[in-house]
Amino acid sequence: MRFPLHVKAALAAGLLFAAAPLVRASFTPPTFDDEEESEEGEESAEEDGPDTRYFAVVGADIHTGTGEVLRGATLLSKNGKIQAIGYDIEIPGRDFQADVPSAERGYTTEVLDATGFRVYPGMVAIESSGLLGTGGDFRDSIDPFDQNMVLGLGAGITSTGQGSSAVKLKRYVSDGTDVDYDFDGVVLRDKWYTTMSYNSANSRRSLREDLERASQYIREYRKWQEDVKSDKELKEPSKKGVNGSVVEVLTGQIMAKFRADSREELLGIARIAQEYGFRPVIDGAREGWTVADELGRAGAYAIVTPRERRDKNELLVRDGGSSIENAAILHAAGVQIAIKPGSRGVSLGGITGRDIMHLPVEVGFAIRGGLPEEAAVASVTTVPARMMGVAHRVGTLAKGRDCDLIVTDGDLLHYQTFVQWAVVDGKVVYDKEAELFFAHIRPRAETEVAPLQRLDAGENEEEEEGDEDDDDEKDKKKDDEDDD
Amino acid sequence: MVARLAHSRPAATRRSAFRSALCGALLGATAGGAVAGVNEAKEAAPVAVANDTEGSLANATEASLANDTDGNLANDTAEAGVALRAAKVLVCAAEGPQAIDHGRVLIQGDRIVGVGPAADLAVPDGWTEVDCGANWLMPGMIDLHSHVGGAFDINDTVYQVNSGLRVSATLRPANRALEVALASGVTTVLYIPGSGSNIGGVGVLHKTGPGGYEDVVVRDPGSLKVAQGDNPTRWGYGMSRLLMNYHIRSSMRAGKAYARAWVDHEEESAPEPARRLNLDVYRALLSGETQISTHTQYYQVVLASLRLLRAETGFDMYIDHGSFDSWRLGGVAKELGVAAILGPRTVLFPGSRRFDTDGRAEGTPWGFQQQGVELIGFNTDAPVVPQHELSVQAAMGVRYGMDDSGMGSVRGLTIVPAIVAGIDDRLGSLEAGKHADILVVTGHPADPRTSVERVYIEGEVVYDAEQEARRW
């Protein structure tokens, strides 16, 4: 059995229980990590270049996802990363260099005036299907014009787990000057979990064997790492019969995901996870409310569908079956809750409110069962981001995070609320009024100035000059009007 | 427990009363309503005033304190009742104020005897007051399309015309699905046969609470179930719309002729017709005692329904799905006095086989509302959508464009289905004289975040989330 290179790298570097690094599972290009880090690290010092994109949302109540709400604040991003959130933030091209033509400024700035609206982190759906591409490697299968992606963005989702990947709903939009599509940017993470099973006697036995062999291997490998320093001839321990994914789980690089509902399975998973020292992700956890303390002690994550209804087996003389209070009880016991709807895909058959387009409705049922609102929001933002190991990128709005956000006309979790704009990597990729689907429903009040503005210096004065840029600008404006 | 009530007025008359009352409300004659009921109740001897809403506006304004039920309440003054106090009372009366802030509802026996602002409506001496705090009160919800009342073998397709079959024979009160439904605030459902045949049989209106058949039945016949469009074509003999329409039209004509013959016999001493059990339901249809609930969805199918079941027969029928693009016929429905009970499919996304939506996602409640239909209700077709998710149907109606400023979402769960099914004399609103089927909820009932804390059916607590495990 061959190990992925990065497993070796992590083992060798002694990062055995560090947080999962942002790496590709199949192979690690030599410069992949370094590039990412150096870019981020030097960003502040970096000079603005012709490709520099500033994007700002102003006037909205910003819900950062960390518990803060900043009324009428500004959020500024640069090249898709959030640079600042707060007040008195100077927007390049608006608050300074406003008189310098954009061609000379060396950067572009878009400002979205969202006064009266709310800004939330783009939602992170822990699981979905069919929102973008067909799976496999999403860099290759992505359809950047997918209608379902538009509907997903319209539903407020900007990132999601699909298969074992964490991906972004990176819709292709171009303003005519920027025609690149960032295929690599679609994937946040290639493999965030491996599936483990505790459903049958056989799977229990083989799981325990896998865990035992993997932990044995890790112990031997660590010992070898020490010993080889003094004895260069010492042979590396054998990987024969060792499950590489299980090693990745035990070294904290990926998660172990179980599909389990019954109390017996849940207790077994909690026990085995504590024994081998990993935090299980439990998909389903229907009877979790009956063993919440045990799951809490095991540091479990749970993916629940609060609306699910299943009666317990009447032959069992104990609590069981589903409970509307499941999410609330698990949360109170310290289990981290992510919420997924009953239907993972986009449903256009007319029965509505039960699919991935209605994540907040599903979350609403957890609140009905007693889950605090803050934990409810976290169940579709920070918790799934954390589970997938991408919380440093998405799920909250903070300096350095990806500028993935939604602008809504009300409370994120109210059934009447619509996403007005969705922004991914600092680009507006969805505007309710510009799309066909929902524009006719409670349309936005018309404002004198278009809410989304591209700041170009001296627009008025340039009219007289009638240079080429100006014509382009007019054409663009005309196009915008046509869109409306 | 349940008083069996004679049906005094044909539905058509009731509808026109509703309409004139609505006009009255629009003209500003709304001052009475719940408050009038308050003053009456203050007299400590709640009086059930005989109701005659036909015609005059003056009567329409008194509708909330009036009732046309058994009228025994005045004699029950010795019995101490229960007063519920809550931050908000959703009255849901056919007309007049829809909500009272800081309100009180007086329950005596199985009936509501007074509703009004707590400041004006005192608790009578010797009564118990239950303070519901910040919670709201509202009438129990009503679903006019349900299949979970009992056994699931209620979809006979040996024949296409089964007007002699009755689902009431299969009713299992307080079964598990109904237990959860009750905890979700659904207190009355119309349990009907499936849609595998053109005429599926006779449904039964019943409550979701505990008890035997006699305790829970509201009305049998609840409706005559007619199904058009896709589902009956599963029959397997290659039946298409031609035969379907023939089945329905010929049945309607035969049924109506049979019912007429009985009327002639009773009123004009014509000879007694031979009894035909399979046509008896038409007598109830002709007298306005029951309605036709119609499985009908696409534009063309709904057009056929309106023509075959309403325009040609004069029977009282309602659209009972109205999915996809049928809202475009709202104007026709309105003209024929046909209500729309919508669900479980309430949004039309762009697709083939239907009207072009220009890419829009169109909510059917929005569409019917656009067409001026006033009686818009919601259904689940449980178990297609679980019975306990009735309120979500209203939420989705509003989400996809329905204007909720007139509280249409809540009305569509309460008074509208009550009017449409002809049971608004006892159910559907919190008004003096009606059954004390009351929900204590934590907020707006359409919001999935709102939970139901307590349910009263006919004055008795049948579910209390604080006292037992929360079911939903």
Q: Kindly list the domain boundaries of chain A, sorted by start residue.
A: 5-119+447-483
Domains of chain B, start order: 1-139+428-472 (2.30.40.10), 141-425 (3.20.20.140)
Inter-chain touch A350–B346, beta carbons under 8 Å: yes
| Residue of chain B minimizing CA distance to A372 | B449
Which of B276, B426, B314 lies closest to B10, judged by CA? B314
pTM beyond 0.95: no
CA distance, residue B439 to nearest chain A CA (Å) = 15
Token code pair at residue A170 = 């990176």
| Residue of chain A minimizing CA distance to B351 | A348
Token code pair at residue B64 = 């909330």
For B175-279, list the strands marked E by DSSP: 186-191, 199-207, 217-227
Per-residue pLDDT band at A459 (split at 50, 70, 90)? low
Inter-chain touch B448–A442, beta carbons under 8 Å: no
pLDDT at position B351 is: 72
Select the residue of A324, A367, A441 nearest B472 (Cβ to Cβ).
A324
Residues of A in contact with B384 (CB under 8 A): 351
Residues 6+ positions from A88 with CB-CB distance below 8 Å: none
Inter-chain touch A361–B384, beta carbons under 8 Å: no
- Give me the mean pLDDT over the A421-433 stretch: 97
Inter-chain touch B400–A352, beta carbons under 8 Å: yes
∠ CA B466-B470-B472, rounded to 5°: 135
Chain A contact for B25 (CB, 8 A cutoff): no
**Helix (H) and strand (E) counts in chain A:** 15, 18
Helix (H, G, I), strand (E, B) or coil at B427: coil
Inter-chain touch B392–A353, beta carbons under 8 Å: yes
Q: Mean pLDDT for chain A?
A: 87
**What percentage of chain A's residues is helix, strand, coil (to nearest 5)?**
30, 20, 45
Is residue A280 a contact partner of residue A270, using CB atoms and an 8 Å limit? yes
Residues of A in contact with B363 (CB under 8 A): 441
Q: What is the ipTM of this complex?
A: 0.85
Residue recorded with tokens 């799309």: A435
Confidence check: pLDDT of A178 > 70: no
* Chain A 156-215, residues with CB within 8 Å of chain B CB atoms: none
Tens digits of residue pLDDT in A219-230: 999 999 999 999
Q: What is the pLDDT along chain B (472 residues), one digit of tens a residue?
A: 333 333 333 444 444 444 344 333 333 333 333 333 333 333 333 333 333 333 333 333 333 443 434 444 444 456 899 999 999 999 999 999 999 999 999 999 999 999 999 999 999 999 999 999 999 999 999 999 999 999 888 999 999 999 999 999 999 999 999 999 999 999 999 999 999 999 999 999 999 999 999 999 999 999 999 999 889 998 888 899 999 999 999 999 999 999 999 999 999 889 999 999 999 999 999 999 999 999 999 888 999 999 999 999 999 999 999 998 899 999 999 999 999 999 999 999 887 667 788 889 999 999 999 999 999 999 999 999 999 999 999 999 999 999 999 999 999 999 999 999 999 999 999 999 999 999 999 999 999 999 999 999 999 999 999 999 899 9
Which of A479, A1, A481, A428 lies closest to A240, judged by CA? A1
Residues of A in contact with B395 (CB under 8 A): 353, 361, 415-416
The residue type found at B385 is: V
pLDDT at position B209 is: 97
Range with the poorest average pLDDT among A136-150, A321-335, B55-69, B84-98? B55-69
pLDDT at position A177 is: 64
Chain B contact for A436 (CB, 8 A cutoff): yes
Per-residue pLDDT band at A476 (split at 50, 70, 90)? very low
| Residue of chain A minimizing CA distance to B446 | A415
pLDDT at position A101 is: 86
The residue type found at A274 is: Q
Neighbours of A205 (CB within 10 A): 10
DSSP track, A378-392: HTTTHHHHHHTT-TT
Is residue B309 a contact partner of residue B242, using CB atoms and an 8 Å limit? no
Neighbours of A201 (CB within 10 A): 7
pLDDT at position A413 is: 98
CA distance, residue B277 to nearest chain A CA (Å) = 37
pLDDT at position B7 is: 38
Inter-chain touch A415–B399, beta carbons under 8 Å: yes
Residues of A in contact with B448 (CB under 8 A): 361, 364-365, 367-368, 415
C-alpha torsion angle, residues B33, B36, B37, B39 (rounded to 10): 160
pLDDT at position B77 is: 53
Report strand pairing: B438-441 vs B136-139. antiparallel
Residues of B in contact with A369 (CB under 8 A): 451, 470
CA distance, residue A442 to nearest chain B CA (Å) = 7
Select the residue of B176, B396, B400 nearest A311 (Cβ to Cβ).
B176
Range with the poorest average pLDDT among A192-206, A293-307, A312-326? A312-326
Residues of B in contact with A367 (CB under 8 A): 448-449
pLDDT at position B152 is: 83
Residues of A in contact with B353 (CB under 8 A): none
Inter-chain touch A369–B470, beta carbons under 8 Å: yes
Tens digits of residue pLDDT in A379-412: 999 999 999 999 999 999 999 999 999 999 999 9
The residue type found at B66 is: A
- Give the integer Cα–Cα distance in Å for B156 and A6: 63
Token code pair at residue A400 = 């350095």
